[in-house]
């Protein structure tokens, strides 16, 4: 993620990109309920959970693309899009860790990066800067994780399909985690440079 500004092109709330982001946010508790229901004596709903994750991935791609193409980049969209990404990752981490599909060390690594990012956003806010847009590197990390999570959920079974899903799922998880931390470290460096430039200007 880079500290960069994207020009707000509309103040409208009910744009197609914003509606897609809102739908993704609504899907977060639905996904968590579906994935955890077997732990509370309910039926296995992994197929429905996979469909919700698939919708999240498609809508994540479409909301940004449509916002740029239709000149509908908005202040609300700049908040909703990364918020939906973060909440889906958090809910998936909770669900898959509770199901013992993800190991605790991977969950801890991803959560630590989120805490680092929150700290940097707090620093920016104290210096009067708005949260930045997610750049290509951050999006690439999110896409890798969004591919990894459904594949790892699919791997919680038996047969050749589960074995294949595990191979590709862990590959995407490894790349996603590495890119996630790479984007986070670059973000820290950029925030530090920005704050230092402000201090020198004063």
**Backbone phi and psi for residue 101, each to the nearest 5 degrees, phi listed first:** -90, -40
Predicted confidence at residue 65, as pLDDT, reads 74
Residue 109 domain-assigned? yes
Predicted confidence at residue 4, as pLDDT, reads 43
Name every residue whose Cβ is closer than 8 Å to that of residue 115 and which is 6 or more positions away in sequence.
none
Q: Are 53 and 91 in contact (CB under 8 A)?
A: no
Q: Rounded CA gap, 32 and 36, in Å?
A: 6
Residue 49 domain-assigned? yes
Q: Rounded CA gap, 107 and 64, in Å?
A: 27
Number of domains the chain contains: 1
Strand partners, 181: none
Locate all alpha helices (DSSP H) within the chain, ordered by sequence: 16-36, 46-69, 75-98, 104-126, 136-154, 160-201
Summarised one tens digit per residue, pLDDT across range 7-33 is 555 566 677 777 888 888 888 888 889
Query: What is the domain-level CATH number for residue 117?
Result: 1.20.120.1760
Predicted confidence at residue 1, as pLDDT, reads 40
- Give the pair of three-digit tokens for residue 55: 């919708």
Residue 34 domain-assigned? yes
**Backbone phi and psi for residue 74, each to the nearest 5 degrees, phi listed first:** -130, 160
Residue 175 domain-assigned? yes
Strand partners, 74: 10
Range of the domain at 192: 16-201
Q: Which residues of the chain have pLDDT under 50?
A: 1-6
Residue 6 domain-assigned? no
């Amino acid at each position: 993620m880079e500290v960069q500004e994207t020009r707000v092109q509309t103040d409208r709330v009910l744009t197609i990109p914003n509606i897609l982001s809102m739908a993704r946010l609504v899907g977060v508790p639905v996904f968590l309920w579906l994935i955890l229901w077997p732990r509370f004596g309910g039926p296995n709903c992994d197929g429905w959970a996979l469909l919700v994750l698939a919708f999240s991935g498609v809508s994540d791609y479409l909301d940004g693309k449509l916002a740029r193409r239709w000149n509908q980049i908005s202040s609300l969209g700049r908040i909703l899009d990364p918020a939906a990404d973060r909440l889906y990752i958090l809910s998936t981490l909770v669900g898959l860790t509770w199901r013992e599909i993800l190991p605790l060390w991977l969950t801890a690594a991803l959560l630590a990066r989120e805490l680092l990012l929150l700290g940097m956003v707090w620093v920016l806010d104290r210096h009067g800067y708005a949260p930045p847009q997610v750049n290509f590197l951050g999006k690439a990390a999110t896409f890798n994780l969004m591919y990894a999570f459904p594949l790892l959920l699919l791997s919680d079974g038996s047969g050749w399909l589960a074995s294949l899903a595990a191979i590709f799922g862990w590959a995407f998880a490894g790349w996603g985690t590495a890119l996630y931390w790479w984007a986070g470290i670059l973000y820290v460096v950029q925030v530090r440079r920005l704050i230092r430039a402000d201090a020198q200007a004063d």
